[in-house]
Amino acid sequence: MAHGPPTPPPTTETEIQDQTRVAAENLPTALTPSMPSSTQLDAFQTAFPAIVDLVSRKDFQSLIQVAENVNLQSDADSDRRLTRLLVLGPLVLAYLIVDDLPPARFALTQLPEDVYSAPLVHSLFGLLASAWDRDHANVYVRAQELRNFVQQPDFFDEQLGSVLSEMVTAFVETFRQRTVRLLSTAYTSLPASLAQIYLGMKQDELLAAAQEEGWLYNASTNLFIPTIETSIAIRTTQPCLSPSSLPSFHSVTNSVAKLEL
């Protein structure tokens, strides 16, 4: 039987969101798939303990190497098994944690239909789409939704759920740290309401976090003043960018990711 050329993966945020919506519309009625029972472990099940250990040590670069090697060594039959999620879920989140989004997208778009239709894949797609577009408010919402999903009592693998929950927490922390660094090196001041959106925090949480980062707070104007010398920005080797004025805040922060260029 002849087959047409493979469908190219989505390359824009709109295409990613469209693919996520299509996946959601075709989800099975069950919230969580069942792992196939077998007395012999496949490549993904065999690699999972190593992945658990690497997550506990927060060695996400090594996790990526292990997971990618498993993907390369797996055969066509095992690729279609839901046990692939034991490696795929941690792999995608590891890429998100280190802020390497294209390979995370590639990993999700190369899945066979049996795995692609799993609700976990849909949740990962949603988080990736928000992170890709640097839609900060939605990043925190999608992250919380994913954490809630994997913590459900009927999630198909309790240990995987625990690992993914820990990795979602790590992702939110690193995403927030990168945002703090970018804001600290780019702006002389910013309104508290916008800082709450970009950092996904309530006012009281934001005040405590800002104090830890060395930011000043003017209660009369409700503005935060990043202090680069004592902030997380000085703990990175990335070059600092010249600060912009407050009037340019809205136009520049439409995509904080552009500051990294």
Chain segment 221-253, per-residue pLDDT in tens: 999 999 765 444 434 434 333 344 343 344 344
Chain segment 61-113, per-residue pLDDT in tens: 999 999 999 988 877 666 678 999 999 999 999 999 999 999 999 999 989 88
- pLDDT value at position 246? 41
Residue 167: both structure tokens together: 């990795």
Q: How far apart are CA 147 and CA 167, in angstroms?
A: 9
Chain segment 169-223, per-residue pLDDT in tens: 999 999 999 999 999 988 899 999 999 999 999 999 999 999 998 999 999 999 9
Chain segment 146-179, per-residue pLDDT in tens: 999 999 999 999 999 999 999 999 999 999 999 9
Predicted TM-score (pTM) of this structure: 0.76
Chain segment 14-38, per-residue pLDDT in tens: 666 565 555 444 444 344 455 555 5
DSSP string over the chain: ----PPPPPP-SHHHHHHHHHHHHHT--SSSSPPPPP-SS--HHHHHHHHHHHHHHTT-HHHHHHHHHHHHHH--HHHHTSGGGHHHHHHHHHHHHHTT-HHHHHHHHHT--HHHHTSHHHHHHHHHHHHHHTT-HHHHHHHHHHHHHHHTSTT-S-HHHHHHHHHHHHHHHHHHHHHHHHHHHHHBS-EEHHHHHHHHT--HHHHHHHHHHTT-EEETTTTEEE--GGGSGGGGS-SPP-PPBPGGGHHHHGGGGGGGG-
- pLDDT value at position 142? 98
Q: Is 8 a residue whose pLDDT tops 60?
A: no
- pLDDT value at position 187? 85
- pLDDT value at position 249? 40
Residue 178: both structure tokens together: 């990168």
Q: Is 47 a residue whose pLDDT tops 50?
A: yes
Question: Higher-confidence residue: 9 or 48?
Answer: 48
- pLDDT value at position 35? 55
